[in-house]
Amino acid sequence: MPITITMPALSPTMTEGKLANWQVKEGESVSSGDVLAEIETDKATMEVEAVDEGVLGKILIDGGTDNVAVNTPIAILLEEGEDQSALDNYSPDGAPSAGSSQTEDKPAVSEEKPASEKPIKQSGGSPNAKAAEGGRVFASPLARRIASNEGVDVADIDGTGPRGRVIKADVEAFVKSGGAAARKPDAKVEDSAKAGGTTAQSTASSGPVATTPPHAGEHEEIPLNGMRKTIAKRLTEAKQTIPHFYLTVECELDNLLSMRKDLNARGDDYKISVNDFVIRASALALKKLPEANAIWGGDKILQYKDIDIAVAVAVDGGLITPVVRTADQKGLASISNEMKSLAGKAKDGKLMPEEYQGGCFSISNLGMFGIKEFSAVINPPQSAILAVGAGEQRPVIRDGAVAVATVMSVTLSCDHRVIDGAVGAELLKYFKGYIEEPLTMML
């Protein structure tokens, strides 16, 4: 029987995306693992791999179509031995159509609810992934890999793919629903939101609001892309629901700049930036003050063991924050090379979800644009973000005399529900110490 291919959920927050293009044409054969199409989400462009083997019988959604809801049928795959005649009495939900009730060439597509409101459903599937009690469990390679990373057994997951196969969306839904005993922190955060907390999933104060132009002058209307819609929603939510407060400190950079020059002269395997020092110093400061490495969980505070630092990267059409995992355990050269790789992927739209999701702390550096000082908006569900200004020569007082030093202003935005003023001040004290005495970062 033909298999319906549906719009996949490529991240826990995705409800729709743009079907950028098809990599396979109608009538072409595909094997498991072949790239079928490219999907643009609010964060990146990602490749969708085939789960089953067969022939692409019919494309239901053309390449370049925007706002395709998750679970919408996008194509039909013919299995081995089937030809185009198999489509005559087949509808996207996997059930034979009554006679020729379809009035158009394309099968009718029923309205789909967002993925967050109902389980992922894919035609041809059964509600049980197990072929028989104690028998083989059918699951895609990608689903097995994600399940292994999440610490769950695919045998515990009901498959909604073709013939009950467990697919990626099933694993993600299983983890999100709390069915897994060994769940990652992000899943816990989502559960906390349901109990009254604030996370990226929160529906409070949505996104763009239509307004009339301020005057009748000539203007250009620019449609919002997925990334801009997400930025609008999340940052509106942040300012309306997170009680921000701000702390600013000035750091002298002369010792750091001298060490950076010396390190970069030692070889060509790395080129360390001031931002790499900032990432390292932030991670070490959080390690000294673990109570700041936490987020708001509604009726609790979730304090994390790993120190993952998100770094804002400007891309076409918006902003994205790739994450340097366990940054406190990495040296400057490692952080530098990893950041260059992540920033390159971000600008090319090739980041994977695991490369930009998570983290409790963000860094936004506008110093390269000459900005002296600014305050950044917290990226929910995180609890703090460090705004980094430009290093510039300023007069300072040393031993009662005026001297000149290279000074950088940084402003820490804190969620007062998680971080009190004294904790935020102590975090900046540690950060300033590492920046002004960079040798201590090497210990």
Residue of higher predicted confidence among 9 and 341:
341
Residue 84 is predicted with a pLDDT of: 75
Q: Is the pLDDT of residue 280 over 50?
A: yes
In angstroms, rounded to a whole number, what is the distance separating the alpha carbons of residues 87 and 101?
A: 13
Active-site choice (215, 219, 244, 416):
416
**Boundary residue ending a domain (154, 185, 216):** 185
Residues 267, 373 within the same domain:
yes
Residue-number span of the structural domain to which 47 is assigned = 3-185
Q: Are residues 158 and 244 in the same domain?
A: no
203 or 388: which leads in pLDDT: 388
- Regarding whether 236 and 144 lie in a shared domain, the answer is no
What is the C-alpha R_g of the chain? 25
**Model confidence band, residue 93 (pLDDT cutoffs 50, 70, 90):** low
pLDDT at residue 108, rounded to an integer: 39
pTM of the model: 0.61
Average pLDDT over residues 328-353: 92
| Co-location of 111 and 169 in the same domain | yes
pLDDT of 392 strictly over 60: yes
How much is the average pLDDT of 29-53? Answer: 82
> Is there a single domain that holds both residue 239 and residue 141?
no
Please provide the distance, in angstroms rounded to a whole number, between the alpha carbons at the two ends of the chain.
63
Q: How far apart are CA 275 and CA 273, in angstroms?
A: 5
- Please report which helix (H) or strand (E) contains residue 150, including its range: helix 141-150
The CATH number covering residue 178 comes to 2.40.50.100
Domain match, 165 and 37 both? yes
In the chain, what percentage of residues exceed pLDDT 90? 40
C-alpha pair distances (Å), 239 with each of 233, 246, 353? 10, 13, 25
CATH classification at residue 350: 3.30.559.10
Together in a domain, 253 and 380: yes
Q: Quick check: is 208 in a domain?
A: no
* Higher pLDDT among residues 434 and 88, named by residue: 434
Task: Among 133, 151, 185, identify where a domain stops.
Answer: 185
Residue 109 within a domain:
yes
Please compute the mean of the pLDDT values over residues 379-394 and round it to a whole number.
Answer: 95
Query: Which residues are 21's β-sheet partners?
Result: 38
For the stretch 190-239, pLDDT in tens is 444 334 444 333 334 444 455 555 667 788 888 887 788 888 888 999 99
Residue 288 sits in the same domain as residue 175: no
Locus of tokens 């929910």: 380
Q: Average pLDDT in the 259-271 region?
A: 92
What average pLDDT does the chain have? Answer: 80
Q: Is residue 110 one of the residues assigned to a domain?
A: yes
| 117 in the same domain as 244 | no
Q: Are 13 and 135 contained in the same domain?
A: yes
Domain end: 122, 157, 185, which one?
185
* Higher pLDDT pick, 264 / 114: 264
Contacts of 144 by beta carbon, 8 Å cutoff, 6+ apart: 154, 166
Asked if the model's pLDDT at residue 130 lies above 60, the reply is no
Answer whether residue 358 is part of any domain. Answer: yes
The candidate with the shortest Cα–Cα distance to 79, out of 106, 107, 52, is 52
390 in the same domain as 291:
yes
Say yes or no: 352 and 410 in one domain.
yes
416 is catalytic: yes
What single string gives the DSSP state of each residue in 178-240? Answer: T--SS--HHHHHHHHHHTT---TT--SS-S------SSSS--------HHHHHHHHHHHHHHH
Per the structure, the count of domains in the chain is: 2
The reported pLDDT for the residue numbered 393 is 96
408 assigned to some structural domain: yes
361 is a domain residue? yes
